[in-house]
Structure 1
Amino acid sequence: MTQLTRKQQQLFNALSIVVGNAMYALTVVLFLMPSGLITGGATGIALAFNKVTGLPVSAVLFVVNVAMLLLGWWVLGRRFALNTMASTVLSPFFMALWERLLGNLVLTDDLVLNTVFAGFGIGISLGITIRAGASTGGMDIPPLVLNKWFHLPVSSTMMVFDFIILAAQAAFSPVRQSLYGVVMAIIYTVVLDKVLMLGTTRTEVKIISAKSDEICAAIFAQLDRGVTILHGEGGYLREPESVLLSVVSNRQLPRLEKLAHAIDPTCFMIVSHVTEVSGRGFSLEKDYQAEG
């Protein structure tokens, strides 16, 4: 597995933040604004002001983001504010850019298609931004402030703020757009979760066998994966036995199963999926030790 250097990782993260914000703004301009769908967060506030006053969505979003950034700087500190600054500026910038370049372009009048593509676009773009280590800012900040001041749960207060923003938009939107807006929120929540987990899931395998030494050697030689030997005891006969613990990629699992069963067809194997693995061979380079 090739690992990025520190500078390469920083450059990749910076590029991801730019791409994520550009994609988010494009999704809003192409699918949210033409269809009249409602949404939460700072974008929801900007859309509500746009419907009532006619002010550009990008301008209102910039004002809301800056206000929330200053609040976060004051209450949560300089480090948090710096982490949030990129999205505070980039999201409104790209939204103004897409508004100018695309004008009143409408890709489709189908509300279902707009709902689905808006959900996927927002979920993927937010996932890219968050994976790069940046905060999305905006209305994510007030719940953190309330948590620091009054120890209120962040998830609960965030839900309340989103509900208020959705309700404010629903007052000026047709029922159909409001209902589809709720569906879109569900879609982008699911997609965001999948994007955050993308590429980090691995498979954990535990193998109990009388031929554990042979299986262990085969895993080293044929899969180039590490193995931890756990010392256990059979619950029925109370005899000592070795338990092999290894973490492999999802694609390597079929090979590992065939390899183990070829050596010991009666081996006992437990397979489970883990959401994240860090350490040698995964988040760090492998460290091969020469035999003495």
Structure 2
Amino acid sequence: MSKKIGKILGIVVGNGIFALGLSAFSMPNHFLVGGATGIARSVQHFAHLDVSVTVAALNVVMFLLGFYILGKRFALTTIVSTLVFPVFLNQFLKIEAFSHLTNDRLLAALFGGMLTGLGLGIVMRLGGSTGGMDIPPLILNKKFRIPVAVSMYFFDIFILLSQMIFSNTEEILYGIMSVLLTSIVLNQVLVFGAGDVQVLIISREYERINEIIQKDLDRGSTFLPIQTGFEKLDQKAVLCVLPNREMSHLNHCVQEIDPKAFIIINGVREVRGRGFTLDKHLV
């Protein structure tokens, strides 16, 4: 229970940092921003609706879609962000001092990008999701096997382009720089820049752990024959590669099965094969 509470608090803190970066640096300077906040900026410009209200409405709609299509487990990872992020954003936008932290647009772009990247990284590293525009790419991947990265880039480009219509040249350039910096910081927080992780698990309960990986996480795994150094026991280690956002869930499952399990986690730069560069349903 204490671990779950700590994870929830961490996700709340991550959302707070994310909202602070947007409300204190990016939005006061009218920089381009991605995700649901970027859509909300466009809606505010054309329909004059409050940004935090639009973000909250989008998050709720996306949460319901995620719950219906992706299932209860995914919905539970997004509900905290769905509820707390619009609240943080609304409250921070009301604090006048935050909109005047710096008059230097370069500093604003740098710190805005770093804070939003840090906030997003904390949330995703804890196994959570920021909800909002994270959900459509996952739905497209499940229904049509479109790679998440491809559809996510498409949505981000569309959202950024929609803001360029009413932004001047400096706002566009600084916004692009801030978005790129967000991506860099986010990647550094997530297992030091690796998009996926390689996990080696040594446990006497390797059969049960392998079953969890295969059925619960829907990931491939490999048995490696080993002999333990102290007791000289012949057994098998479980090797698998999975996205870093699923690492928290795997770690929790392994600890429930065998609290004494030995887990080695390495960031990987590139993964090729079924389930990554090839459709995992190919025969």
Confirm or deny that 1:126 pairs with 2:126: no
Distance 1:11 1:82 in 2: 14
Alignment-derived partner of residue 178 in structure 2:
184
SS in 2 for 1:38: coil
- Residue 69 (structure 1) aligns with: 63
Answer with 1 or 2: which has the greater Rg. Answer: 1
Report the alpha carbon displacement of residue 116 of structure 1 after superposing the two structures with TM.
0.2
> Mapping of 1:116-195 within 5 angstroms?
116-195=110-189
**Counterpart position of 1:43:** 37
2:15 maps to 21
State how many pairs are aligned. Answer: 205
Counterpart of 1:14 in structure 2: which amino acid?
Answer: I
Q: Distance in 2 between matches of 1:285 and 1:119?
A: 40
Task: Please name the residue that 2:190 is paired with.
Answer: 196
Q: In structure 1, what residue type is equivalent to 2:118?
A: I
Deviation at 1:104, TM superposition (A): 7.1
Distance 1:115 1:101 in 2: 19
User: In structure 2, how many angstroms separate the alpha carbons of the residues matched to 1:104 and 1:155?
Assistant: 33
Deviation of 1:118 after TM superposition, in Å, equals 0.6
TM-score, normalised on structure 2? 0.66
Q: More displaced, 41-50 or 161-170?
A: 41-50
SS in structure 2 of the partner of residue 48 of structure 1: helix
Counterparts of 1:196 and 1:228, CA distance in 2: 32
Task: Give me the whole-angstrom Cα distance separating, in 2, the residues matched to 1:108 and 1:186.
Answer: 20
CA RMSD of aligned residues (A): 2.7
Q: Which residue of 2 aligns with 1:60?
A: 54
Measure, in 1, the Cα distance between the counterparts of 2:25 and 2:147. Answer: 32
Sequence identity, in percent?
40
CA shift for structure 1 position 43: 1.1
Q: Distance in 1 between matches of 2:259 and 2:46?
A: 52
Asked if 1:114 corresponds to 2:108, the answer is yes
The normalised TM-score by structure 1 is 0.64
How do 1:96-115 residues align onto structure 2 when only pairs under 5 Å count?
96-102=90-96, 105-115=99-109
CA distance in 2, matches of 1:171, 1:72: 30
The structural deviation recorded for 1:62 is 0.4
Query: How many angstroms apart in 1 are the aligned matches of 2:47 and 2:146?
Result: 33
